[in-house]
Amino acid sequence: MLMVEIRKAIHVNEAICRVMSSAITGPKTYVAIEDSLSYYLGEDLLADHDVPAFDRSPYDGFAIRAEDTLDAGKGYPIRLEVIGEIGAGSVHEGEVQANQAVRIMTGAQIPNGCNAVIMLEHVEMLEHDWKTFIQIDRRLTTGENITRTGEDTRQGETLVKKGTYINPGVMALLATCGYKQVPVIQKPKVGIISTGSELLAVDAALEPGKIRDSNSYMLLGQIERAGGIPLLLGQFKDDFTLCYNQVVDALDKVDILLTTGGVSVGDYDYIPAILDKLKARVLFNKVRMRPGSVTTVAEIKGKLLFGLSGNPSSCYVGFELFTRPVIRTYLQSNYPFMRRVVVQLGAAFTRPNPFDRFVRGKLQYENGQTIAMPVGLDKPNIVTSLAEADILIMLPGGAEVYEKEMEVTAILLEDQTGTTMDSFISKQVIH
């Protein structure tokens, strides 16, 4: 009689800890600033100069000396002679004297001698003896309407820390500080092998008993969202030698390897045997979670292989919980884990489950309240629910029944900010 292997299921937190203890960090490299979006910064970004580097005008108007306006008031305008004009990028030569003004545009350097700016709309202009004058009927204070040197930041300040996700705002700072080439952490190459004799290519017509391979493309998107470079290595039928050779071949080409399917206890589930033959160190092969309980992670010569389930929802959740933080660690992110929020559950879950559940859901905003609304059928083989999902609703296992409007924790899938492992794990209920 054949014996079915009984696997020891471990808690999700324990599984995360085991994976993270084998996660490695990637090397530093340089990319052109125009290509730097979504990389992680490889060095602290320091201000190479005061920003701005000179006092400048925030308005189109006139640079003046505040002391010349001491006697100005409603009905008692004072008059200044306009002795020049500068646009942004130009500098007024010489020193502005008493009762003189310079017409100035937004962003232009404040001329020497001036200490205030008055907006164009607040003066009256007049011509007299071929000269231009402005009339001002209010008193200005020293420093009024002047953007000060170093107001934004001071030279030497750390503007962005190493390990920060480069968003468009960080790109502005990189440009401000003159980074044509940006130090970043190299993105990991993450290989995808789909296994299953039932799998068809995406452009193939359906045949009896067959399905199109959707996990490959789902994982491709998940890898990119996590910050890795996906490599589609193909779909392979359930044949031990074929799959074994593909895995061996792939391990040479990638930093992290993902397989989908063939990881459970079925007759054609060859991933466990492949890991065995590779003499891989299996970190776990059963997790107390739904979906994704069959997720298997192993280490082979310093590389992690994620044996993700073939079931689409299980594959998706297994990736987000275990592979994503490994990719983010490779990228040297300071916050490799997904952030969570405490929200109201939008629909009841009355079927108790001994395993922790990660329900695909979306955030909704109703009457000032944030609601975690489950999307689609909550079964591992479901693919349609994934399109709408932007959160995983965590429902800790046990005898509990989850009523609508109860407070639950939702993991944010689209958020790039992230959090630390300690903070991610401490928010989960430990059994």
Sign of CA dihedral 61, 67, 73, 76: negative
Q: Is 380 in the site for ligand LQZAQKY5 (CB under 6 A)?
A: yes
Which of Mg ion, ligand MOO, ligand LQZAQKY5, none does residue 199 bind (CB under 5 to 8 Å by kind)? ligand LQZAQKY5
Site for ligand MOO in 295-324 (CB under 6 A): 309, 311, 314
Using the rule CB under 6 A, which residue among 227, 291, 336, 346 binds ligand MOO?
291
Q: Compose the 294-323 pattern: x for residues touching ligand LQZAQKY5 by CB under 6 A, - for all others.
A: x--------------xxxx-x---------
- Residue indicated by tokens 């701005």: 52
Q: Is 381 in the site for ligand LQZAQKY5 (CB under 6 A)?
A: yes
Q: Which of 206, 425, 258, 418 is nearest to 331 (CA)?
A: 418
Q: In what order do the strands lie in the sheet with 296-300?
A: 229-236, 189-195, 256-260, 303-308, 296-300, 281-284
- Select the binding partner of residue 352 from ligand LQZAQKY5, Mg ion, ligand MOO, none (C-beta < 5 to 8 A, by kind): none
292 binds ligand MOO (CB under 6 A): yes
Site string for ligand MOO, 328-367 (x = CB under 6 A): ----------------------------------------
Give the other-Cβ count within 10 Å of 167's Cβ: 13
Residues 16, 114, 283, 294: which binds ligand MOO (CB under 6 A)?
A: 294
User: Judged by CB under 6 A, does residue 164 bind ligand LQZAQKY5?
Assistant: no
The least distance separating Mg ion from the CB of residue 196, rounded to whole angstroms, comes to 8
**Interacting residues of 130 by C-beta distance below 8 A, sequence separation 6+:** none
| CB-CB contact of 37 with 315 (8 Å) | no
* Residues in CB range of 258: below 8 A, 6 or more apart: 190, 191, 192, 193, 219, 223, 305, 306, 308, 319, 323
Q: Which of residues 265-294 bind Mg ion (CB under 5 A)?
A: 266, 269
Token duo for residue 299: 């280490």
Stretch that binds Mg ion, among 23-31, 34-42, 264-272, 319-327 (CB under 5 A): 264-272
Prior bond of 291 cis (ω within 30°) = yes
Q: How far is the CB of 192 from ligand MOO (least distance, A)?
A: 18
With CB atoms as reference, the residue minimizing the distance to ligand LQZAQKY5 is 310
Query: In the numeric block, which tokens belong to residue 377?
Result: 């059928």
Q: Which does 153 bind (CB under 5 to 8 A by kind): Mg ion, ligand LQZAQKY5, ligand MOO, none?
A: none
CA dihedral 260, 261, 264, 265 (to 10 degrees): -150
| 109/260 with CB nearer Mg ion | 260
Q: Which is nearer to ligand LQZAQKY5, 314 or 323 (CB)?
A: 314
Burial grade of 204 (CB within 10 A; 0-12, 13-18, 19 or more): exposed
Which residue number, 23 or 220, has a Cβ lying nearer to ligand LQZAQKY5? Answer: 220
Task: List the single partner that 228 binds among Mg ion, ligand MOO, ligand LQZAQKY5, none, CB under 5 to 8 Å by kind.
Answer: none
Q: Which two tokens stand for residue 227?
A: 């910050």
Q: Which of 398, 343, 400, 340 is nearest to 374 (CA)?
A: 343
Residue 230 engages ligand LQZAQKY5 in binding (rule: CB under 6 A): no
Integer Rg of the chain from CA? 31
DSSP 8-class letter at 341? E
How many residues does the structure list for the chain?
Answer: 431
**CB of 282 closer than 8 Å to CB of 327:** no
Stretch touching Mg ion by CB under 5 A, among 100-108, 116-124, 242-250, 257-265: 257-265
For ligand MOO, the nearest residue by Cβ is: 314
Q: How far is the CB of 360 from ligand LQZAQKY5 (least distance, A)?
A: 14
DSSP-assigned letters across all residues of 82-143 = EEEEE-TT----S---TTEEEEE-TTPBPPTT--EEEEGGG-EEEEETTEEEEEE-S---TT
Which residue stretch of 65-73, 150-158, 207-215, 327-335 sits at the interface with ligand LQZAQKY5 (rule: CB under 6 A)?
A: 207-215
Distance between CA 368 and CA 143 in Å, rounded? 43
Instruction: Mark 362-391 with x for binding to ligand MOO (rule: CB under 6 A) and - for no binding.
Output: ------------------x-----------
- Positions in the binding site for ligand MOO (CB under 6 A): 290-294, 309, 311, 314, 380
- Positions in the binding site for Mg ion (CB under 5 A): 264, 266, 269
- Positions in the binding site for ligand LQZAQKY5 (CB under 6 A): 194, 196, 198-199, 211, 213-216, 260-266, 269, 291, 293-294, 309-312, 314, 380-381
